A and B are shown apart, each in its own frame.
Chain A
């Protein structure tokens, strides 16, 4: 199946999604660093969970959300190689993800878990 790729002519489509060659994936060095960063971030998340003085502050939840978003992004960019892959895949993922995130936030508003104050 991948044999199709090497013979594939360049893209005909309007967006100019010219597919990059298959072998631009990062190497072992990158993967190792990514794994290390993910481990450290996870350790940080668990660590701050055990700091009672911090969990009571308003910063606790945003910090966790940011850490988790960073982990999420790193995995998607490097392990799912969206950073290196065709733009089309990025659109197929980021579009629905954004819409789903908006939906989730919208539902939390509607059920009164998030408040708008004027």
Chain B
């Protein structure tokens, strides 16, 4: 935008204030989802269960513990690395390093998409093992919690690709680093939500 805007009362950028307010609001959004998951832990009368095997009394079919910790650990690592790529992209734009900014923006988007790929693999394999959103409370609360997180990652990837497109088309000047900064704040927030989910959902038995 043009530079003729009057300075703001705090000297802070409007969009940045708004994104922080939005992140504050998102804290409550994810707190509600995580609360529900935790409240419903161990309340399902029927399996499959996250950490324990379960035998269906009607059919005798044995369902193994559903969560795949090694795969999710890798996808968690991928998401953490995407945050690193994101800060490097922002730092490149601030320095005016056009080449690096494109590389790191693209890397962030690719790592984000990789995380989504892992999630797609996880969801389909769970469905094959007999867990859907209909199956039990665990299925409903697990898929909706991680699904909403995945939706946030998806929105972030689209945002990053838009920034990448603009960066390729005309490049960001250091003055416009705020555009990348705001996206980065969102992206890191989605990452910290995953840090909480990984511990509370996957690791705590």
Contact between chain A and chain B defined by CB under 8 Å: yes
B57 contacts A by Cβ under 8 Å: no
Given A1-B15, A61-B204, A113-B39 contact (CB < 8 Å): yes
Measured CB to CB, the closest approach of chain B to A45, in angstroms, equals 6
Given A23-B94, A101-B31, A42-B196 contact (CB < 8 Å): no
Which residue of the partner chain, among B9, B10, B25, B30, contacts A86 with CB atoms under 8 Å?
B10
Report the separation of the CA atoms of residues A66 and B39 in the bound assembly, to the nearest whole angstrom.
21
Q: Assess whether A80 is in contact with B177, with CB atoms less than 8 Å apart.
A: no
Measured CB to CB, the closest approach of chain A to B173, in angstroms, equals 9
A9-58 interface (Cβ within 8 A of B)? 9-13, 17-19, 22-23, 25, 27-28, 31-32, 34-35, 38-39, 42, 45-46, 49, 55
Note all chain A residues with C-beta closer than 8 A to B35. 103-104, 107-108
Count how many chain A residues have C-beta atoms less than 8 Å from C-beta atoms of the other chain.
61
Which residue of the partner chain, among A8, A45, A61, contacts B11 with CB atoms under 8 Å?
A8
What are 24 A-B contacts with C-beta separation under 8 Å? A2-B174, A2-B177, A3-B175, A13-B9, A22-B178, A23-B94, A25-B94, A31-B91, A32-B84, A38-B80, A39-B77, A42-B73, A64-B199, A67-B199, A71-B192, A79-B86, A80-B184, A92-B24, A93-B24, A100-B27, A100-B30, A103-B28, A113-B38, A113-B39
Q: Assess whether A68 is in contact with B69, with CB atoms less than 8 Å apart.
A: no
A118 contacts B by Cβ under 8 Å: no
A84-107 interface (Cβ within 8 A of B)? 86, 88-89, 92-93, 95-97, 99-101, 103-104, 107
Q: Assess whether B11 is in contact with A68, with CB atoms less than 8 Å apart.
A: no
**Interface size grouping (class) on chain B:** 35 or more
Note all chain B residues with C-beta closer than 8 A to A17. 10-12
Residues of A within 8 A of B (CB): 1-5, 7-13, 17-19, 22-23, 25, 27-28, 31-32, 34-35, 38-39, 42, 45-46, 49, 55, 60-61, 64-65, 67-68, 71-72, 75-76, 78-80, 86, 88-89, 92-93, 95-97, 99-101, 103-104, 107-108, 111, 113
Q: Assess whether A1 is in contact with B12, with CB atoms less than 8 Å apart.
A: no
Note all chain B residues with C-beta closer than 8 A to A1. 1, 5, 13, 15, 175-176, 178-179
